[in-house]
Amino acid sequence: MTTMLKLQDVTAGYGTFQALFGVSLEVKAGEAIAVIGPNGAGKTTLLRAISKLIPVTGGTLEMEGRRYNDLPSHEIIGLGIAQVPEGRRLFPRLTVEDNLRMGAFLPDARAHFAERLDYVYSLFPRMKERRLQMAGTMSGGEQQMCAIGRALMSGPKLLLLDEPSAGLAPVIVQSIFDLIRRIRSEGYTVLIVEQNIQQVLKVVDRAYLLETGHIRQSGSAAELLDSEEIRRAYLGLD
Amino acid sequence: MDQIFDIFLLEAVLNGVLLGGLLALLALGLNLVFGVIDVVWICYAELIMVGMYAIWWLHSAMGVHLALAFVAGILLVGVLGACLHQFIIRPVLSAEPINQLLVTGGVLFFLQAIATVAFGVEFRNIGVRLPGVNVGDMNFSLARMIAFGVALAAIAATYLFLTRTYMGTAIRAISQDRTIMPLMGVNPSRIYLLTSFMGGALAGLAACLLVLQYDVHPAIGLSFGPITFLICVLGGLGNLIGGFVAAFVFAQFISVGGFFFQLEWGYVLAFLFFIVVMFWKPEGLLSKRK
């Protein structure tokens, strides 16, 4: 498998506050990877750094073998990296279809707008029913579908998902993880950040445990599920 | 007697509609910039004044064909809007709103002073006087009718641009969530620049329509700058549809109020209405934000 995303010793933060201390990780084509960890571990910061929404102060970011530390944030999606941000962040007073249109803003993506719109609607028929509804008036689960659809409209190679289950009712959470399974089976490479460790480890191949800005542990999803430390600290099991 | 009275009232109402179209165009540019960038261009009417001078100078002093002078005026004020953003607004983009207001207020007086230095305080006109149009017993100004038609066409074009194109959708999106725009591949600075150019170009278009009706002088911005701002506030600052509706409401107060009393009284009533609305619905008639 070829390496898609590679981070080496990445440090980043906000102003004088450092949130990531030399994080290294790798995502290969076709893989689904989770970054798990407690609140405040730096998981969201990590995805923001990958998308260059915050400056990277050290280390290297590579996509398909190309170092992209120096690219501005709005050019990252052009590399094939699309992010579904924390809290979904749809444009609340735009229709579902206009939100999806924004996902296809890049000239290359515009050429494929109609065909990808059909694809997203086939993946989420609910979005087709609601295509002219204001995105902000939909339920949390529907908004998550729309946010994922928006990211898919760019035709990404790598999909970054930031806490997709956060703030959703338990019954919806299950359907979100089913959704992620479907995205995987469509052949997308996925990097997902989650606090819902038990659930996310069931849908990914490998995972990294991030604590206070450091990678503490990594391995296959099964290994991490079996790990003494994770079972005790995060799953509440002995 | 009743018959005559009704005809003149109808004339006043229709003149109010014509005026409303022009005021709606004036409000559109200011509202667009505020809605997207969250900064009030207090100097908006002075951009129009610059456009009027540019058209007058090109046409009357340099002998350029009027149509060409109009195009040049629109482009010039568009570029001026973009420059205003790049050099004046951008450095204070994250400053307190009062600072942003003050800095564009500074630009207002700066442009007035520059115009006085360049052209003096004389009233200038392009020497075009369009005839009146008689419909039955009613009389309408052709210049106003043209202004109404062009303003409505420009408003419709702006609406289609904002709703039917990727750039227009991005302009609407950025006003709702600026920080995630880069995730869509959108460079926010470019959208701001484009919006400022559009705001300026709309001011330039307004200059074309106004220069057909009014003489230009350095303080002409004061005759419609405050009205434009009040209309935007009345419709809910940044709310394009609200501004459109408010422009027609305001114009009726001016026109019909002026008909029943005296022309000056129309303005008194319109501003009184504004004050009452500010007590009753301070967020504007059609509010976007609470």
**Strands of A46-98, DSSP E:** 56-63, 66-67, 81-84
Interface with A, mutate which of B171, B175, B180, B183 (most A CBs under 10 A): B183
The pLDDT score that the predictor gives to residue B49 is 97
Q: Which of A34-48, A53-67, B263-277 has the lowest mean pLDDT?
A: B263-277
Q: Which chain A residue has its CA at the smallest distance from B182's CA?
A: A74
In this structure, is residue A198 part of a structural domain? yes
Kindly tell me if the per-residue pLDDT of B286 is higher than 80. Answer: no
The pLDDT score that the predictor gives to residue B37 is 93
Q: Do B170 and A105 touch (CB under 8 A)?
A: yes
Helices in A38-106 by DSSP H: which ranges?
43-50, 96-103
In this structure, is residue A91 part of a structural domain? no
In this structure, is residue A180 part of a structural domain? no
Report the pLDDT averaged over residues B118-139.
87
The pLDDT score that the predictor gives to residue B290 is 42
What residues 160-219 of chain B have any CB closer than 8 A to a CB of chain A? 166, 169-170, 172-173, 176-177, 179-188
Task: Establish if A44 touches chain B: CB-CB under 8 angstroms.
Answer: no
Domain residues for A67? Answer: 1-79+190-238
Distance, CA of B205 to CA of A207 (rounded, Å): 59
In this structure, is residue A172 part of a structural domain? no
Interface with A, mutate which of B184, B189, B190, B239 (most A CBs under 10 A): B184
In this structure, is residue A84 part of a structural domain? no
The pLDDT score that the predictor gives to residue B1 is 46
Kindly tell me if the per-residue pLDDT of B221 is higher than 90. Answer: yes
CATH of the domain at A17: 3.40.50.300
Count of domains observed in chain A: 1
Q: Do A101 and B166 touch (CB under 8 A)?
A: yes
Report the pLDDT averaged over residues B186-198.
97
The pLDDT score that the predictor gives to residue B58 is 97
In this structure, is residue A173 part of a structural domain? no
Tens digit of each residue's pLDDT (9 = 90 or more) over A173-197: 998 999 899 999 999 999 999 988 9
Helix (H, G, I), strand (E, B) or coil at A194: strand
**Cα separations in angstroms, A131 against A39, A54, A119, A121, A176:** 34, 32, 14, 9, 20
Task: Establish if A75 touches chain B: CB-CB under 8 angstroms.
Answer: yes
In sequence order, which residues have a C-beta less than 8 Å from that of residue A187 and are 6 or more positions away? A30
Would the ipTM clear 0.85, i.e. be above it?
Answer: yes
Q: Which chain B residue has its CA at the smallest distance from A82's CA?
A: B183
Share of chain B above pLDDT 90, in %: 73
Radius of gyration of chain A (CA): 17
In this structure, is residue A233 part of a structural domain? yes
Tokens of A43: 């998981």
Q: Do B172 and A77 touch (CB under 8 A)?
A: no
Q: Do B182 and A76 touch (CB under 8 A)?
A: yes
Task: Establish if A231 touches chain B: CB-CB under 8 angstroms.
Answer: no
In this structure, is residue A133 part of a structural domain? no
